[in-house]
Structure 1
Amino acid sequence: MRVARFYAPGDLRLQDVPEPTPTAAEVKIRVRNCSTCGTDVKIFNHGHQNLSPPRVIGHEIAGEVVEVGSEVEGWAAGDRVQVIAAVPCGICYECSRGRMTVCPDQTSVGYQYDGGFAEYLIVPEAVLRVDGLNRIPDGVSFAEASVAEPLACVINGQMLAGVGTGDVVVVVGAGPIGCLHVRLARARGARQVFLADLNRGRLDMSAAVVRPDAAICGSEVDIADEVLKLTDGRGADVVITAAASGAAQQDALQMTARGGRISFFGGLPKTAPTITLDSNLVHYRELAIVGANGSSPADNRDALDLIASGGVPVLDLITHRLPLSQVSEAIRIVAAGEGIKVTIEP
């Protein structure tokens, strides 16, 4: 079978390798779609501390069961499935409290286990143990199901930030995650949703699809000032920084209404993880700042349900479909911001 295997920064090799065979406690799937994201770009450029090369990468996976281990129950050849990316241990203190996204013993598909840029994938026992193999609902395509993983992360972030009915929400970052945030905020009852980005081309491309109530280009106007104008000086109830930008995190405080919430959704580069934060704004305005780290198995199931119901459409976010042989081109497109969602079809 063909795989895309990461060896070192800048070294992603297409290789022919033997098809894997599942153990008694594993499931083998034929990968139909594995979508790409900014994390794949980071891995390609810099590697990752939790990834030991060589490793098949790709973690937004949907496919079809082709073989089931003798000890596995509930699955059969032909089942259409989506695979979680972040794999909690399921037994630690945090997992027992329902906080699987902050499991200290978390592993990940495409990091500790081979990922989805391949024709076939072994779903490890660790995934099955936490109910992380999900049945794709009828009417949902493999391509749409591959977007369930990033949507699951967005669901976790908005739950933690308490996005709800009547809120004014600002999403900073007009990439695929930002687009999903816009649509989920609407599905959760937000009254207005604004989308902001520094890149005019990327902002216009995304805004044309998800149609926010306002699209704000940060290279042309001050985002915080524009949000205050749009809200008659009050600011937003929720600001979500869906970009790896310390400046965006700092600016978020300037555009958040009293009693509002800020989600630091996008992590910062390891080389620049700190910001200067005016804690008096947090204190006197009674602001809440929350982080967001990945998703739980339950978030993935909720994401599939939202896609199936039409609550959060994702098909029109997929701008590029490429074969496995063009995975490096897919990563380039993502890095350049030339598409919204780029999916690989092995």
Structure 2
Amino acid sequence: MRAVRFEQFATPPKVVEVDDPVPTAKGCVIKVEATGICRSDWHGWMGHDSGIALPHVPGHEFAGAIAAVGKDVRNWKVGDRVTVPFICGCGACSECHAGHQQVCSHQEQPGFTHWGSFAEYVPIHQADLNVVALPEAMDYATAASLGCRFATSFRAVIDQGKVSAGQWVAVHGCGGVGLSAVMIANAAGANVIGVDLDPAKLKLARDLGAVAAIDGRGDVVEAIQEITKGGAHVSLDALGHPTTMTNSILCLRARGKHVQVGLMLGDHAAPAVPMPKIVAKEIELLGSHGMQAHRYGAMLDMVRSGKLDPARLVGDRISLDRAPEALMTMNRFQSVGATVITDFAA
């Protein structure tokens, strides 16, 4: 199969021919029809994730059709249209037994713990636990975002932030995760404020339901405090940077919730935290890491009802041959909406 592979961290990946994967007894192989290029992939390519073994094929948010199943798989057959959470549970640990596969003690992550979806095929273990059926009407490019940025945002807003109607919600960083969060919080009835440096992303945030859009180069905290008359109830750092994290915490009202969604890796792995406000105002600090396969039903119900429309978040559609450049330049430039690989032919 054709795949994007890098031999060393932070060196140019290449499109090469590699062996097709085969399913384990409880696993499956998925023919990739679309896969998003995510900031997490860039972190992996840079070497910020110490669990990656070289050489490596990145990619973790994808959708496609099942190409092969192991002998012990019961719920899936060849041809089924599916996606997969980027965190796959083992099914045996205490967290999995409690339904918290997103923090599985022995989790696997396509594109990190093993070769991922910048390829024609990708293997998944424990298929009956981790694979999710797609609505027939949903195209693969839209479905690709469900495995990471859209599902991650859904859990961050609904399950962790517990956003409710009438609350003020600030979203810091309007890339794929942030724009997803804007749409989801708006669907939950919140008053959403988007923060970014890019006017085009701020415009899209407004189009997706944000009631205000703030240029991140200004005094973000003061602007949010003024708009909300006291601070946000829930604030999300959807980028993963010390500045956005700090602004997210400081813009909250008393007893507000900060949800850290963007990864803080490399030089940003141990940022200074404004602890005086956290203590004095009883601020809650919450992490949010993906979403379990069994929670996809609630999200997909909102998609079917028309309350959520992830298709609006799809940006550029590119070929596998353009993926190396898109990955390497991600930290310098991100398109409006999610860049998705949809053409895998030579």
TM score, norm. by length of structure 2: 0.90
Alignment of 1:133-148 (within 5 A): 133-148=131-146
Matched residue count: 339
How far 1:230 sits from its partner (Å)?
Answer: 0.8
1:252 alignment counterpart: 248
Alignment of 1:69-80 (within 5 A): 69-80=70-81
Deviation digits for residues 16-58 of structure 1 (CA, Å, limit 9, x no counterpart): 1233333443322221001110011122233521111122221
Indicate which of 210, 213, 216 corresponds to 1:215: 213
Report % sequence identity.
Answer: 26
Structure 2: 5+ residue stretches without partners: none
Distance 1:276 1:123, change over 3 A: closer
How far 1:135 sits from its partner (Å)?
Answer: 0.9
Look up the equivalent residue of 1:20 and give its one-letter code.
P
SS at match of 2:6: strand
Indicate which of 278, 282, 292 corresponds to 1:282: 278
C-alpha distance in structure 2 between counterparts of 1:304 and 1:146, whole Å: 13
1:343 alignment counterpart: 340
C-alpha distance in structure 2 between counterparts of 1:285 and 1:201, whole Å: 32
2:29 alignment counterpart: 28
C-alpha distance in structure 2 between counterparts of 1:203 and 1:319, whole Å: 11
How far 1:136 sits from its partner (Å)?
Answer: 0.6
1:226 alignment counterpart: 223
1:60 alignment counterpart: 61
Q: Contact between 1:32 and 1:63, CA under 8 Å: does it hold in 2?
A: yes
Distance 1:68 1:277, change over 3 A: closer
Does structure 1 residue 171 correspond to structure 2 residue 171?
Answer: yes
Does structure 1 residue 314 correspond to structure 2 residue 315?
Answer: no
How far 1:319 sits from its partner (Å)?
Answer: 1.3
SS at match of 1:315: helix
Indicate which of 292, 295, 308 corresponds to 2:291: 295
Q: Contact between 1:148 and 1:304, CA under 8 Å: does it hold in 2?
A: no
Distance 1:67 1:95, change over 3 A: closer
Name which of structure 1's ranges 333-342 and 31-40 shifts more when overlaid on structure 2: 333-342
Look up the equivalent residue of 2:180 and give its one-letter code.
L
2:98 alignment counterpart: 97
How far 1:315 sits from its partner (Å)?
Answer: 1.1
Name which of structure 1's ranges 201-210 and 89-98 shifts more when overlaid on structure 2: 201-210
SS at match of 2:234: strand
Distance 1:102 1:117, change over 3 A: same
Structure 1: 5+ residue stretches without partners: none
C-alpha distance in structure 2 between counterparts of 1:193 and 1:90, whole Å: 37
Q: Contact between 2:202 and 2:214, CA under 8 Å: does it hold in 1?
A: no
Deviation digits for residues 281-327 of structure 1 (CA, Å, limit 9, x no counterpart): 22332321211122222234444443333222111211111111111
1:263 alignment counterpart: 259
Distance 1:70 1:171, change over 3 A: same
How far 1:333 sits from its partner (Å)?
Answer: 5.7
How far 1:83 sits from its partner (Å)?
Answer: 1.8
Look up the equivalent residue of 1:135 and give its one-letter code.
A
Write out the 4+ residue segments of structure 1 that deviate beyond 6 Å after TM superposition. Answer: none
2:184 alignment counterpart: 184
C-alpha distance in structure 1 between counterparts of 2:39 and 2:226, whole Å: 32
C-alpha distance in structure 1 between counterparts of 2:206 and 2:247, whole Å: 25
Does structure 1 residue 241 correspond to structure 2 residue 237?
Answer: yes
Distance 1:21 1:217, change over 3 A: same
TM score, norm. by length of structure 1: 0.90
C-alpha distance in structure 2 between counterparts of 1:333 and 1:277, whole Å: 29
SS at match of 1:299: helix
1:152 alignment counterpart: 151
Deviation digits for residues 251-290 of structure 1 (CA, Å, limit 9, x no counterpart): 2333211221111222323323334434342233232121
C-alpha distance in structure 2 between counterparts of 1:284 and 1:47, whole Å: 34
Look up the equivalent residue of 2:57 and give its one-letter code.
V
SS at match of 1:29: strand
Distance 1:110 1:311, change over 3 A: same
How far 1:246 sits from its partner (Å)?
Answer: 1.4
Q: Contact between 2:48 and 2:266, CA under 8 Å: does it hold in 1?
A: no
Does structure 1 residue 17 correspond to structure 2 residue 18?
Answer: yes
Deviation digits for residues 203-233 of structure 1 (CA, Å, limit 9, x no counterpart): 34533642411110021x201111111123x
Distance 1:8 1:201, change over 3 A: farther
Q: Contact between 1:166 and 1:189, CA under 8 Å: does it hold in 2?
A: yes
